Structure 1
Amino acid sequence: MITVLVHELNQTPMRRLISSAGHLLPLLRMETYQSVFRRLNFPAGTLVFTDFEYLNGMEMMAAADIAEAAKRADPDARILNHPATVLERFALLRRLRIRGINPVEVSRLEQDERPTRYPVFIRMEDGFWGPETKLLENPRQLEEAIAVLQGNAKPMKRRIAVSFEADRDSNGYYRKYGAFRIGDAIVSQHILRSVDWNVKSSASSTDPDFVREELAFVKDNPHAEDLLRACNTGHIQFGRVDYTLRDGALVIFEVNPNPTFPKFKGGAAAREERRGHIIAALKVAFEAIDSSGTGRIDFLPSAGSYQFIQSGRWIWPVRWLWRTRMARRRKMQSQ
C-alpha cells in the first residue's frame, strides 16, 4: 500500500488522482498530517510526504518523526520526500544554481538580498499563487514593486525575487513542460504554451502539429536523465517538475511535491492517446514504489515539536485522548 500524506487544506490534487485513476493503480491512500498528528499513528507501507510549504518548522519535525518511526518498524520501508532532507522551492532553486544545473536566481527580499539577473518577478516562497508582479526589468522597477506591495500591506517575509529565464519559441509562445518524478521514474505529462510569460494553460492545444509534438514528448520522455539529476539534488522522489527549454538546456521553475495529475476521464479527444501513455507509465511507476504493509505504526513526536502540533480546533475529548496517547507513548519509550 502507498500512503500519501497531505495537508488538510490541500487534499484536492490527490483526491482527483484517486477518483479518476485509482482503480488502475496500486492501493493508494491519502491521509492528512493533521489526522496522523491527532492519532499518533499511520499506515504501514510506502510513505510519500508532500505539502511542505503548508507545514511550520515544528510540524516538519513531527513529519520527520513519522518517517523515522516507519524506518524503525521496517528498515526497508519506502519513504519518498523525507522531511529531514527534502528541499523546498527556494532552497532547491538556489542549490541548483550553485551547482550549475539551473540558471534561475532567487533572492530573499526580507533579508535585503537583491538579484544580479533581470528580468525578475516577485512571488511568495510558499504556496501556488504564482507571480505577484509583472516582469521587472531593472533594480529601480524592483524597488518600486516592493514599495507597492508594502503599501498594500503585504510584508516581505517569505517573498522572493525570481529571475525569469525563458524565451519564446519559433511560433511566439512561451512554453512550460511538466513531468512527474515517482520513485526512480520520470513520467512526461504535458507541454503548455502561451503568449503570456506566466504560462498557466495551453493555447491551441488541439492544433494537429502541436498534438503530435506533445505526444512524442510523452512517449519519448526526452529529459528524464536531467530531471532525475535535478530532483536528486533536492532529495525529491515524488512530485512534478515544471520547466522550460532555452538553447536546448533545461530551465527548472519548481518541483511541486503535491501536483495536480491529468484528468483521465473526459478531456479533448485529440489528446486521448497522450493520456493513455501517461496512465500506463504512472501505473508502472506507482507499482515500483508499492510495498507490503499491514496495520498502523505508532509514532512519538520529538520533545521539541509535540506541544505545537495540537490543533486549536480539537474539542476537549480529542485533546484528552491525544494527551493520554502521548503519555502512553512516552512511557513505552522510556521502558
Structure 2
Amino acid sequence: MPAHVPSATDADCLVASGRRVFQIEAQALEAVGARVGADFALACQRILACRGRVVCTGMGKSGHVARKIAATLASTGTPAFFVHPGEAGHGDLGMITDADAVLALSYSGESDEVLMLLPALRRLGNMVIAMTGRPQSTLAREADVHLDVSVPAEACPLHLAPTSSTTASLAMGDALAVALLEARGFTADDFARSHPAGNLGRRLLLRITDVMHGGQDLPQVGEDASLAEALMEMSRKRLGMTAVAGADGRLAGIFTDGDLRRALDRGIDVRQAGIAQLMTRNPRTVDAGQMAAEAAHLMERHQINGLIVVDADGRAVGALNIHDLLRARVV
C-alpha cells in the first residue's frame, strides 16, 4: 500500500506549525531584547520627565499594539491613552497637549497616517518616541528617540502577516511599562487603586467596614441574657451568631449556631440556660480598620465562619461571616 502522505490538517502537522511559531517568535524576542540599551533608557527618562500623558498611536496591527501599550502604561502608573492617527487628522489631534509625549508605532516607519502627524506634533513641541523595525525609516529619523523592534523573520510563512514583529512591539511596550513602574516606585496598592473592580482591587482595597454588619444590624445581647433571647437576636439579624457584651460594654464572648449544637449534644436544658454559660469566651475578633482579605485569611486559618469586629476599647461594632466575604468576592 502506498505510504501515507501527511496533509496540512493532520494533527502532527498542526502541532509542528504551532511550535514553529513559538520558536520563531522566541528568537525574535531574544534579538530585540539584546538591543535594549541607551535608547530605551532615554525613552524612559523622557517619559518620566513628561508633565502630561503618553499618547500612543499607530495604524493597523501597530494600532492594536499601541492601544494595548497605552492600557498597560495607564494601569501601571504612567497616564496614557490611544489616539487613532487617521482620526487625529480630523479633529482628535485636539486631545494632545504640548505637555504630552507621543509614542508612535509603525513597523515600516513609513505609515502615511502616522507621518502626517509629525509636523503638527512638532508645532506643539511634543517629544516623539518611535517604535519601528527600520532604523533608517522616516519615522525613526524624525523621532526624538527610536526603539528598534526589528525581527529576523515573521512567523507567518508568507512573510506577510505581522506576527513576530507585533509580538516584539508588545514586549517592548511591556518593558517600558515595567521599567517606568519600578522607577516610580509603583506598588501593589497603587495597582489596586486603578483596578478597583478586579480581584486584586477587591483584596487590597476592600476593608472590613465595607462588608460588616454594624449599627442596628449588629447582633448583640448582654451577658445576662437568656438563651431564648440570644436565639431571637440571631434569628432577627440572620448571621448565625451574636456578640455577647459584658457589663462594661466590652465583648465578653460570642454565641453561634455551633455553640447551640454543642449545647444540645451535652444535654443542657436550653429553656433554662443563660447565654453566659454557653457562649465562647475570648473569641477571634478583627479590627474595623483591617482589610477584608485579612478577615478571610483568619477564618480560613482557624476554620470559623464568622467574626466579631471590635474597636480599640474592645467593644463590638460589627459582625461578618463568610457569606459576606463571598458576596464581596473577596474569597
> Shorter-chain TM-score category?
under 0.3
| TM-score normalised by length of structure 2 | 0.27
Q: Comparing both chains, which one has the higher relative contact order based on Cα–Cα distances under 8 Å and sequence gaps of 6 or more?
A: 1
- The structure in which a higher percent of residues are strand is 1
- The structure in which a higher percent of residues are helix is 2
